[in-house]
Structure 1
């Protein structure tokens, strides 16, 4: 296919290019080709409304590509977790905020609770066995708790 054949397709060439770029995103994910594909589809829409040369259309695509990549990066940055730590493979971080029932009373600030299939040591205010507690933090293998 030559440049003349592509130019003859008009705006449809941009729609096809956009769909191909989005398909490439599925094959090699990384959230980059998606933005270029959206820019190509937008270029096709502009080219179908405004009559312009193929050179100007390429410049429109370049501008829309730059804009869509910048907007896409901003969107992805906002969706990223705020802290550097994630709960992935960090079982204790997944416990924070949950409520449980004490297996043993908390006496002199120490007790224990069964969380799923594991017994954890807890630290918090003195409470009787069977009291409901909420995990407020983790210090190694010690759960910091408060009355729920």
Structure 2
């Protein structure tokens, strides 16, 4: 094994880079992408400088792996911007402050209201069906209401 490592060719680095990139396709979340690129870069350097020693090859691989990963991480963080739709995927938050008719009477603090084509579970004071209530807050999938 040590003999093999002492005589790594550029093909070995390119093969390692290819294997890492193929494994990345199976969904590692970007971890192997940068290592694959670093291995390919070391392969190219080994092709351009055939006398590159094993220690320097391994050092280059480690440094390039870290540098490419940090570069991408910083680039992703700087490219992140605030959403122009901050309420997206916060389904009940747009209902706060709106009034609805009680669909099923609120008995012992629990009932249902109809919102468009859906029905939401609500908590609040006991209220008969057909009375208007205002949504005052949300707790997961349960809306808190008060009578209007």
Q: What TM-score range do you get, normalising by the shorter chain?
A: 0.5 to 0.7
Task: Give the aligned partner of residue 66 of structure 2.
Answer: 66
Rounded to whole Å, the distance in 1 between the matches of 2:6 and 2:92 is 59
Task: Give the aligned partner of residue 21 of structure 1.
Answer: 20
State whether residues 34 and 65 of structure 2, in contact with CA within 8 Å, keep that contact through their aligned partners in structure 1.
yes
For normalisation by structure 1, the TM-score amounts to: 0.52
Distance 1:90 1:17, change over 3 A: same
Secondary structure of 1:28's aligned partner: coil
Rounded to whole Å, the distance in 2 between the matches of 1:66 and 1:33 is 11
Distance 1:66 1:88, change over 3 A: same
Structure 1: unaligned runs, 5 residues or longer? 94-117, 119-139, 141-148
Task: Give the aligned partner of residue 46 of structure 1.
Answer: 45
State whether residues 6 and 13 of structure 1, in contact with CA within 8 Å, keep that contact through their aligned partners in structure 2.
no
Task: Give the aligned partner of residue 133 of structure 1.
Answer: none
Higher Rg = 2
Query: By how many angstroms is 1:14 displaced?
Result: 0.7
Structure 2: unaligned runs, 5 residues or longer? 94-115, 117-136, 138-148
Distance 1:63 1:78, change over 3 A: same
- For the aligned residue pairs, the C-alpha RMSD in angstroms reads 3.5
Task: Give the aligned partner of residue 121 of structure 1.
Answer: none
Rounded to whole Å, the distance in 2 between the matches of 1:58 and 1:26 is 24
State whether residues 21 and 32 of structure 2, in contact with CA within 8 Å, keep that contact through their aligned partners in structure 1.
yes
